[in-house]
């Protein structure tokens, strides 16, 4: 029996386990020193001023939107080729969600399409308050062009960098927020580094940072300078707005800090494996991932597109044949606007043809640091057999 090869998997080593055990034996399981240490490590690695660790990237997107003041009557735009959380954060705030179709080369949101929609929106008075560009598969969006449009049209930018810690744009680390207001990472086990569940919000803006800190803990402050009346004493705190308990535990943060020590190693290995796929899949009837020269991907995903007109089999048949051979392929993503919840909001199949066409052809191949060359060869061999 050959084993099942998953599409993604965490890489946990003895130092990670030791770091978690150390916290379990310490005084602080949550709200202790491990959080700040992890935040500092990520902030330093990204070259950004502030980092706020939270319980998930979904929570991170939610408080990022709230910190900007997104609310009822406002609009948030993102790409349909993403996980539902990139759009749901707008709905959590009572805002209206819209989508920008994908670029058929990068699978990120299309800049041409964004410009076209902004011209229309400006004429109609419906310019979004927030744009959430998603760095799909770990490849950065064209952030400089997005920043230009943000200035011209007056919207804010929250990067959904859930796939992209360890990646670069024009030589700068993703998360630097050089071209955006905020950026968000996910530490789910399939992502680049993990804390089990977890996320982080990054920003260079002190006012956004203060809001994020409050929103993570119930809207509460202990800072006398921010209080609306004099402190009653050392026990005193004030709730200034409606926040949440979106905290990360110290157990998770210690794991995250330990994982950060290997971020470069993880990304280097992912790049090596991605390059190897690109070399060894050249001759198959596939479109392989195209990389914009301004970007260096963290390679969260390796997505192939089937040339269906040249194949005897459907996408589903190829997918199922791979799964039967023990290859844990996946599909990223079902276009968000086709989900029943979004259809009930008025979206329809046909609204975003590039995302839908992509969805009919795409398959994500296994890619993670612990993928052995022998297992990668099994994936390549299986694909060659199925597609020939
Ligand atoms: C994984 C992911 C999220 C959500 O991350 P969680 O940490 O699971 O909440 C959001 N956006 C994208 C693009 C993701 O891949």
Residue-level length of the chain:
388
Confidence (pLDDT) at 168: 98
- Among 162, 167, 183, residue to substitute to test ligand 1 (most atoms within 8 Å of Cβ): 162
- Going from the Cα of 17 to the center of ligand 1, the distance in angstroms, rounded, reads 24
| Across 130-139, average pLDDT | 98
Q: Is the pLDDT of residue 2 over 80?
A: no
CA-to-CA separations, 33 to 39, 261, 333, in angstroms, rounded = 10, 18, 37
Query: Where does ligand 1 bind, in terms of residues with CB under 6 Å?
Result: 56-58, 82-83, 85-86, 134, 160, 162-163, 186, 188, 199
Determine the Cα–Cα distance for residues 11 and 41; give it in Å rounded to an integer: 19
| Pocket test residue of 10, 188, 335 for ligand 1, highest count of atoms within 8 A of CB | 188
**Active site includes 191?**
yes
Give every CB contact of residue 125 below 8 A, 6+ residues apart in sequence.
none
Nearest atom of ligand 1 to the alpha carbon of 60: 9
- Write out pLDDT tens, residues 21-38: 999 999 999 999 999 999
For residue 1, pLDDT beyond 60: no
Q: What percent of the chain is modeled with pLDDT above 90? A: 97
Q: Give CA–CA dist 336/101, Å, rounded.
A: 11
What residue's CA is closest to ligand 1, atom 5?
A: 57
Extended strands (E) in the chain: 50-54, 75-78, 96-99, 130-132, 156-160, 168-169, 172-173, 182-186, 199-203, 220-221, 238-239, 286-287, 295-296, 302-306, 362-365
Tell me if the bond preceding 333 is cis, omega within 30° of 0.
yes
Instruction: Please compute the mean of the pLDDT values over residues 259-270 and round it to a whole number.
Output: 98
Task: State the Cα–Cα distance between residues 74 and 156, nearest whole angstrom.
Answer: 12
- DSSP for 172-217 reads EETT--TTSSEEEEE--TTSSS--SS-EEEEES-HHHHHHHHHHHB
Average confidence (pLDDT) over 178-184: 98
Please identify, by atom number, the ligand 1 atom nearest to the C-alpha of residue 198: 7
Q: What is the pLDDT of residue 129?
A: 98
Q: Which of 59, 76, 85, 182 to mutate to test the pocket of ligand 1 (most atoms within 8 A of CB)?
A: 85
Nearest Cα to Cα of residue 149 among 110, 183, 185, 201: 110
Confidence of residue 203 (pLDDT cuts 50, 70, 90): very high
Report the mean per-residue pLDDT for the chain. Answer: 97
The whole-number pLDDT of residue 317 equals 98
The burial of 226, by beta-carbon neighbours within 10 Å (0-12 exposed, 13-18 middle, 19 or more buried), is given as exposed
Atom of ligand 1 nearest to the CA of 300: 15
Phi, psi of 253 (to 5 degrees): -65, -35
pLDDT in tens, 338-377: 999 999 999 999 999 999 999 999 999 999 999 999 999 9
Question: In terms of pTM, does the model score above 0.95?
Answer: yes
Distance 83 CA to ligand 1 centre (A): 6
Yes or no: say if 54 and 256 are a contact pair by the CB < 8 Å rule: no
* Nearest ligand 1 atom to alpha carbon 82: 13
Question: What is the per-residue pLDDT across 39-80, written as a single tens digit (0 to 9) for each?
Answer: 999 999 999 999 999 999 999 999 999 999 999 999 999 999
């Amino acid at each position: 029996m050959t084993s099942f090869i998953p599409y993604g998997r965490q890489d946990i080593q003895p130092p990670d386990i030791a770091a978690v055990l150390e916290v379990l034996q310490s005084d602080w399981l949550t709200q202790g020193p491990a959080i700040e240490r992890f935040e500092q490590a990520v902030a330093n690695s990204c070259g950004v001023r502030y980092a706020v660790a939270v319980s998930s990237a979904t929570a991170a997107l939610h408080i990022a939107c709230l910190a900007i003041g997104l609310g009822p009557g406002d609009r948030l735009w993102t790409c349909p080729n993403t996980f539902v959380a990139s759009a749901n954060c707008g709905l959590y705030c009572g805002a209206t969600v819209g989508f920008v179709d994908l670029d058929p080369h990068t699978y990120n949101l299309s800049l041409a399409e964004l410009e076209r929609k902004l011209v229309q929106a400006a004429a109609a008075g419906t310019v979004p308050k927030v744009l959430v560009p998603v760095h799909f598969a770990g490849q950065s969006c064209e952030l400089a062009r997005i920043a230009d449009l943000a200035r011209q049209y007056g919207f804010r930018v929250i990067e959904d960098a859930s796939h992209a810690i360890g990646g670069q744009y024009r030589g700068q680390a993703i998360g630097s927020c050089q071209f955006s207001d905020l950026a968000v990472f996910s530490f789910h086990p399939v992502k680049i580094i993990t804390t089990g569940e977890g996320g982080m919000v990054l920003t260079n803006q002190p006012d956004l940072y203060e809001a994020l800190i409050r929103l993570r803990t119930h809207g509460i402050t202990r800072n006398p300078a921010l209080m609306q009346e004099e402190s009653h004493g050392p026990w005193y705190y004030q709730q200034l707005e409606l926040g949440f308990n979106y905290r990360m535990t110290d157990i998770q943060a210690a794991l995250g800090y330990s994982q950060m020590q290997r971020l470069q190693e993880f990304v280097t290995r992912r790049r090596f494996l991605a390059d190897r796929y690109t070399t060894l899949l050249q001759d198959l009837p596939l479109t392989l991932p195209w990389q914009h020269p301004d970007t260096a991907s963290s390679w969260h995903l390796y997505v192939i597109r089937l040339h269906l007109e040249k194949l005897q089999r459907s996408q589903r048949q190829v997918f199922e044949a791979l799964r039967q051979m023990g290859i844990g392929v996946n599909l990223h993503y079902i276009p968000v606007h086709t989900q029943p919840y979004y259809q009930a909001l008025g979206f329809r199949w046909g609204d975003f043809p590039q995302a839908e066409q992509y969805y009919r052809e795409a398959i994500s191949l296994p890619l993670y640091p612990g993928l052995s060359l022998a297992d990668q060869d099994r994936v390549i061999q299986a694909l060659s057999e199925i597609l020939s």
